[in-house]
Amino acid sequence: MVTAGSLSKLYDIFIKYDATVLEINPLAITSDGNAVAAAILMGVNDDALYRQPDLASRVEVGSDGAWRPLTELEKQMIEVDKTEAYRGTARYTEMEGGNVGFFCGGGGGSLISYDALLRFGGKPANYTEFGGNPPEIKVKGLVKGVMSKPGVKGFYMNMNITNNTQTDIVARGIAGAFKESNLNPADFPVVVRLAGVNDSEAKKICAESGIEYHGDDITMEDAAQIIAEKMKQAYPEEAK
């Protein structure tokens, strides 16, 4: 039988190795009555790996909490997120199918925006959320990654009104990603909805790059509807 001592040891391991989950499943009882851990699962806090050098090579960063193994692009995006790690955070998750590259700022806002896109018939190819005022190089790397997924034929950036994220830096990163990816907004559906610090400059940057820009003149749901309609018009055969 599992003893209090065994549970105490599990707890000690959990704390010692900065685990986020520690699970024995299944626990087997041998014919002589001994309890044996037939399989063990442990998730470790990515941010604590610097304290766990012996585990670093055995842990897949970014996989904690994932419901499946990470794709190669998801792994690449983790590396992009490490760029100037002290400024801004981001997470990228691929979705099956889809043709809209989804890029959104703010946790709650991104969920609202994602749901709105689905409601208007849009087909997101991924879920990408960022926050914390990321630098231009990180934004550019994230957007290039979003648009590199096979099947992505449009780009949708939506963000709630913020008071700390510099929208001009975000806009510059998006414009740079389009340029380096050789994508022309004239024939590649794109909608950017940014509102907050320096949004007049963000609007200017997007206009110079031919990217459709909106500020707080429209809602997040309005932006979702606009890109969904653009995609239907550009690719009517995929709208069914």
Residue 19 contacts residue 42 (beta carbons within 8 Å)? yes
Q: What is residue 141's predicted lDDT score, i.e. its pLDDT?
A: 96
Could you give the number of structural domains in the chain? 2
Distance (Å, rounded) from C-alpha 114 to C-alpha 94? 13
Q: What is residue 9's predicted lDDT score, i.e. its pLDDT?
A: 84
Residue-wise pLDDT for 158-175, tens only, equals 988 766 889 999 999 999
**pTM confidence score:** 0.76
Q: Give 155-221 as a DSSP string.
A: EEEEE---SSSBHHHHHHHHHHHHHHTT--TTTS-EEEE--SBTHHHHHHHHHHTT--EE-TTS-HH
Range of the domain at 199: 72-238
Same-domain status, 160 and 195: yes
The reply to whether 64 falls in a domain is no
Same-domain status, 93 and 38: no
Q: What is residue 40's predicted lDDT score, i.e. its pLDDT?
A: 78
Helix axes 167-180, 136-148, angle to 10 degrees: 40
Q: Which regions of the chain are under pLDDT 50?
A: none
SS3 assignment, position 39: coil
* Domain containing residue 163: CATH number: 3.40.50.261
Same-domain status, 103 and 171: yes
Q: What is residue 132's predicted lDDT score, i.e. its pLDDT?
A: 85
Q: Give 80-122 as a DSSP string.
A: HHTTTTTS-EEEEEE-SS--EEEEEESHHHHHHHHHHHHHTT-
Q: What is residue 210's predicted lDDT score, i.e. its pLDDT?
A: 96
Q: What is residue 39's predicted lDDT score, i.e. its pLDDT?
A: 77
